[in-house]
Amino acid sequence: MCPFGMAGNCRYGDRCQSLHGLQCPSCLKLVLHPHLTPEEHQQVHINECFNRPIQAFDGVRPEDIECGICFEKVLLKDDARFGLLNCEHAFCLQCIRQWRSSSNNQNNQVIRACPICRTPSHFITPSTTWITDYDEKQRIINEYKRKCSNIPCKHFNYGNGQCQFGSSCFYSHVYRDGTKGEINIRTIQNGEEVKVLDSVRLWDFMENFAEKRNSPVIGVTATIS
C-alpha cells in the first residue's frame, strides 16, 4: 500500500497508482488493507490500535519522543514542534493538524479529542518543548489568554465594528473611554420561535485558517527553560 497514503499525506490522492487503505475507526489513518475482511482488519490492526498503551515518557529524552501518528521523533523533524493536547500522548504539530483537518466527516466530539485515548482537547497548543504536567499546560494557555485580553479586538474596533467570535474572543472588547463592550447574542426568528445561534469559536477559526495557509497557528508557542 502507498506509505504516503497510510500517513495521510499522499499528494496524488485518488490518482495514486499505489493501493490506498481504508480508514481505521480508532486512529483514522488509511491503514486497513481493502482486500481483507472486517474480521481480519480487527485482528491485524484495530485491536492493537484500540489497546495501544499510553506512552510513558519518564526518563525519556525529549529528542527521543515519537509522534503517536507518524511514529517519527518530533524534535528531529523539519517543523520540530509538539501539538499539545489535554492528555499525555505526544504528537507533532503537523500530524495532529492534518488528522483534525482530514476528519471533517467525523463526529465533532471525535475530531476535538485525542486520536488515541479520546480525551477532549478543543484546541492544539504549539510547543517547542514537551510538557506533561497539566498545571503547566494550563498556565501557558492562561498566560496567553491573559495577554490577549489586554489587546483591543480589531474586529470590535472600539465599538465601530462587530466581532463574530462573541464571548469566545480572546481579545478585549472595549470602547475608547475604557468601558467594556456588550456581547451581542445572535438569534434567528422562525414563526413564534427564537433560536440562539452558536457563535464561531476563535480557536476553530485560527486552526482552520492556519491549515489553509499552511502556516503556524496564531497562538501560544511554549518555550520552557
87-107 CB burial, b ≥16 within 10 A, e <16: bbbbbbbbbbbbbbebbeeee
- pLDDT band for position 184 (50/70/90)? low
What is residue 85's predicted lDDT score, i.e. its pLDDT? 84
3-state helix, strand, coil in the chain (%, to 5): 30, 15, 55
Residue 64: predicted pLDDT: 86
163: left (phi over 0), alpha (psi -120 to 50) or beta: beta
Q: What is residue 110's predicted lDDT score, i.e. its pLDDT?
A: 56
Cα distance between residue 18 and residue 12, in whole Å: 10
**Confidence (pLDDT) at 146:** 79
Dist. CA 21–CA 98, nearest whole Å: 17
Task: Quote the CA–CA distance of 16 and 28 in Å, as a whole number.
Answer: 19
Higher pLDDT, 22 or 102: 22
**Structural element, H or E, at residue 140:** helix 134-149
**Which of 134-138, 153-157, 196-200 is the most confident on average?**
153-157
- Concatenated DSSP letters for 171-223? SB-B-TTSPBPPPPPPEEEETTEEEEPPPPPHHHHHHHHHHHHT---SS--B-
pLDDT score for 79: 92
pLDDT at 28 over 90: no
Is residue 10 scored above 50 in pLDDT? yes
C-beta neighbour count of 20 within 10 angstroms: 17
| For residues 169-179, average pLDDT | 84
The pLDDT value recorded for residue 39 is 72
Closest alpha carbon to 82 in 64, 101, 98, 95: 95
pTM, 2 dp? 0.47
Tens-digit pLDDT profile for residues 53-69: 444 455 667 788 999 88
In the block, cell 504539530 appears at 93
pLDDT of 94: 92
What per-residue confidence (pLDDT) applies to 50?
Answer: 58
Percent of the chain with pLDDT over 70: 60
* 108 pLDDT higher than 80: no
Q: Which residue has the higher pLDDT, 192 or 174?
A: 174
Considering only 11-15, 133-137, 168-172, 210-214, which range has the smallest mean pLDDT? Answer: 210-214
